Amino acid sequence: MNLLVTGGSGFIGSNFIRQRLTEKGSVIGKLVNLDALTYAGNPANLADLASDPRYVFVHGDIGDEALVARLLADHAIDAIVNFAAESHVDRSIDSPEPFVQTNVTGTLRLLNCAKRHWAKLPEPRRAAFRFLHVSTDEVYGALSPTDPAFTEETPFAPNSPYSASKAASDHFVRAFQHTYGLPTLTTNCSNNYGPYHFPEKLIPLMILNALDGKSLPVYGDGQQIRDWLYVEDHAAAIWLVLQKGRVGETYNVGGLNEKPNIEIVNTICALLDQKSPRADGKSYTTQITYVADRPGHDRRYSVNCAKLQAELGWAPRENFASGIAKTVDWYLTHRSWAADITAKKYARERLGTVK
């Protein structure tokens, strides 16, 4: 299989590419990573795979239809996995327009190219072609503490410019399948965590701020609840859906780990107290500070992934205890990776808390 992966130098995309190229018995012939390398895209995430003859990196935008069309043709692409997105809620609140440009217009242009490429393919390649769009549970809105988890049938009710832009892109993917017959698939995931996570997100931010002796800023009362999904489990789910999912269907991917943000922060502090104690012997919890809540902050997300489990036999390998321990260990042994991002891309920006 020849894959075009968009946004593959970001957090989830790079973990997906790493999994595809390093797994035993890989069926990948060529894997093309198209990434615009905006603030969250980092070539260092895949630097150790750069010499793999199956891997091709292309610096470019999914909105560049001429470039995308050329890549699809030149590399005889059999499937597209679209990770490319602006994804930080705080940034979308500050400036929604880039989210519309990438998440909506960019996805539309990518769909246009996919449709033209697919229409020209000979059978059986045309029948086997797939376009998988990676999305978020935030398109469903927010839940109260007693509401049932989001299912694939939950009506969309996005509450931030980010989630509104992702909802729009999801709708375009659905429309291209319904109108043109393009064989699409969509996954809507819960909060991811794990290696190569950009430092402005909650878990890496707390780990790195703690180690640097900085405050650990927690929005509001810290009781915002999220379902946490280890990124390698998510990558495996995407691959399974790409191979075996029913065309035109949406599959929710959850980690089955609902936890409030303050519990996440306390867990990280406890692990760091064990693995990298402060010189003064105090707990990292002394660095926790509560800050004004984010505007329109969704209170709870919860994902029902029973469809994915029942139809395709997927289950997460990591529970939160094992996944967060692996994540803390990774950041402790990759301080230079985080420092390089901070120096190059974050020198003039404030690190903020996230969803």
Q: Kindly list the catalytic residues.
A: 137-138, 162
d(CA 202, CA 207): 9
β-pairing, 30-35 with 79-82? unpaired
Secondary structure letter of residue 298 according to DSSP = -
d(CA 195, CA 276): 18
Q: Assign 255 to helix, strand or coil.
A: coil
CA-to-CA separations, 197 to 64, 70, 335, 355, in angstroms, rounded? 27, 31, 12, 14
Contact 105, 31 (CB under 8 A): no
The pair of structure tokens assigned to 251 is 């599959």
Counting Cα atoms < 13 Å in the Cβ hemisphere of 73 gives 11
Q: Per DSSP, what are the bridge partners of residue 57?
A: 33
d(CA 178, CA 275): 52
**In this structure, how many other beta carbons lie within 10 angstroms of the beta carbon of residue 112?**
16
d(CA 131, CA 177): 10
